[in-house]
Structure 1
Amino acid sequence: MLFGSLGIAIISLFLGDVLEGLLDSLFDSVGEFLNPLLLFSTLSVIGGSGVLLTKYTDMNNLYVLILSLFIGAGSYFLIYYFLVTPMSNAEASTSISIFDLEGKVGEVITTIPANGMGEIFIESTNGSRNETAMSFDGVEIKQGTEILVIQVIDNVLYVSELEEF
């Protein structure tokens, strides 16, 4: 049981997406709680603890089985709540929200009229982006002017001219 489940756990680690696609209908109904990698890892822990308890203790085989099952159940919940759940909630992209642009400095690439919209260019470590902008102060901001993003409302950036001291 130890080597078989360990081998399947390692295979599912590398081919997890393929197995997940094949077993998609089964595991969608029970959720992420019963994913194959987690199940076979738990079986590996049960088998490994059974081997160690049998070899290094004088306990009865029934007690070894019961204790191994408890150790496996404990490892299942620890792995699920401390590895699977946080990793499934982790964001895999480097994109940023438009609201993260508040307080950033950029440059006007299309003149922003006093009561209209223009376009600004903001450069960051995640890449550069062009966004629609309006004047926060209600004044015209010319092309090439450095600006500061003050606020984001309805996916429009409200900017003010950046003044140097």
Structure 2
Amino acid sequence: MALFGYPLEIIYLYGFIIATILTVIYIFFGDIFESIFSFGGGSVSVVTLLLSFFAMLCGLSYIGEYLFSFNSILIFGSAFAISFIGVFIMKILILKPIAEAEQNTVQRMDEFIGCKGEVITTIPTEGFGEVLISSQFGNNAILAKTVGKKDISQGTEVIIEGVQDGVLLVQNIAYSLKKPRL
């Protein structure tokens, strides 16, 4: 069958190539496009799902037209159904858990506020060091900076006062007025 004077296999092949290229470009530069053009809501973007759907639809339709001699409408319909199911499964099993994992990391960092830890890399007044925090999930070495005016040396116990841009704000437990959580 032909559409606009071109065989369907060629249209599907070009559609697959273009959709795949756009998907790869969007994966690398999607955040930039979303911030410039103010589209995309949430951590699972509709654009990612649409581009993936079109790439799968064109690819499966091309394979169907190339391998089978069925009616073109039947091939397109089955490719549409398989693509829809594939993108739905991709969203549920891959994209949504990744988005939730990113949100859980932020929540977990806030849970450290008020806990005590041990400095494993000296924290200078105007710099960063590392603090070892023991939690129910194990030990975590997390980047930290001091809120006080003095350096905090290695081995000192500290209390986490807050979190700023993924960096713990800590103070020497000897100078803190807060009682640490256990």
Q: TM-score, normalised by structure 2?
A: 0.53
For 1:100-155, what per-residue CA distance to the aligned partner results, in whole angstroms no more than 9, with x for missing partners?
7657568xxxxxxxxxxxxxxx9311134668xxxxxxxxxxxxxx8798xxxxxx
Aligned to 1:126, the other structure's residue is in SS state strand
Structure 2 counterpart of 1:12, from 17, 20, 26: 26
Does the 8 Å contact 2:114/2:180 carry over to 1? no
Name the aligned partner's letter for residue 58 of structure 2: G
Q: CA RMSD in A?
A: 3.6
Name stretches of at least 5 consecutive residues in structure 2 with no aligned partner. Answer: 1-14, 120-129, 133-140, 148-155, 160-176
SS in 2 for 1:4: helix
Q: Shift of the alpha carbon at 1:21? A: 2.0
| Structure 1 residue corresponding to 2:75, chosen from 64, 67, 88 | 64
Q: What is the letter of the counterpart of residue 16 of structure 1?
A: G
Equivalent in the alignment of 1:91:
102
Alignment CA distance shift 1:104-1:21 (3 Å): closer
SS in 1 for 2:179: strand
Count of residues in correspondence between the two structures: 124
1-side partners of 2:117 and 2:146: how far apart? 13
| d(CA) in 2 for partners of 1:71, 1:40 | 15
Note the C-alpha offset of 1:75: 1.4
Normalised to the residue count of structure 1, the TM-score between the two structures is 0.57
Q: What is the aligned counterpart of 2:57 among 46, 51, 69?
A: 46
Identity percentage of aligned residues:
14
* 1:158 equivalenced with 2:179 (yes/no): yes
Deviation, structure 1 residue 35: 2.3
Letter in 1 for 2:89: L
Larger Rg: 1
Equivalent AA in structure 2 for residue 11 of structure 1: I
Contact 1:5 1:43 (8 Å CA) reproduced: yes
Report what 2:142 is aligned to: 126
Q: Deviations over 1:53-72 (max 9, x none)?
A: 11222221010000010011
Counterpart contact for 1:147–1:159, Cα < 8 Å: no
